[in-house]
Structure 1
């Protein structure tokens, strides 16, 4: 009979341990369901600050839109020149694209000008301006 009572006490101890763990878990679940009021207050403050920031950004955007509406458009000749500029850039994109990807020659070289001619022309223009000649390379002694 003593064996039976020892088993009973072990089972009672295990049962008490299980009940205490269950109570702890239930407390944790209740605490997780209801956030603390300080956390809720902090969230409300952050939401109010974000709302205020958004309102000020909207007001700034409206002011900028009003200023832009009041501006005069550029002169028609300037707009035409800008349009031609962008059109010429779009036409030259394929040539530059091949050069920058390493698939073709420099776009200026394909127009009939070679690099040595450009270098000679630069040298002659430097002399025309009255600049002194470049120093000659002297070997070290």
Structure 2
């Protein structure tokens, strides 16, 4: 009977140890669960903020694409024609300047004058954008008073 009583006391001590360990583990699990819950909430908030930021970036990109799409550059042939036109205007400014200032006849009233053939200085297909920009798009007339 003594042995069963000592076994019973020993089993009771082990049971208490196990219950103590179980309580500690339950506290640890509860603490870990709270940490995970907080982490999950932060991740959800961060995800929501990132989603809003990405949506705003996409809207900004769409606006930029729309602006770029509406401002298409003219065809290179049109740019070449425009450059030639302004070169011709600048070439003929001295003849027209006298007429526009009221100091001479209309340039087309001189019938003996033959039109000058177009002189192409460089191949327009091989010209660089800096050459095209060298000619002002709108000539500046010198007004003499």
Does TM, scored on the shorter chain, surpass 0.5?
no
Kindly name which structure, 1 or 2, has the bigger radius of gyration based on alpha carbons: 2
> Which structure has the higher relative contact order (CA within 8 Å, separation 6+)?
2
Instruction: Give the TM-score band, short-chain normalised.
Output: 0.3 to 0.5
TM-score, normalised to structure 2, is 0.40
Query: More helix by proportion, 1 or 2?
Result: 1
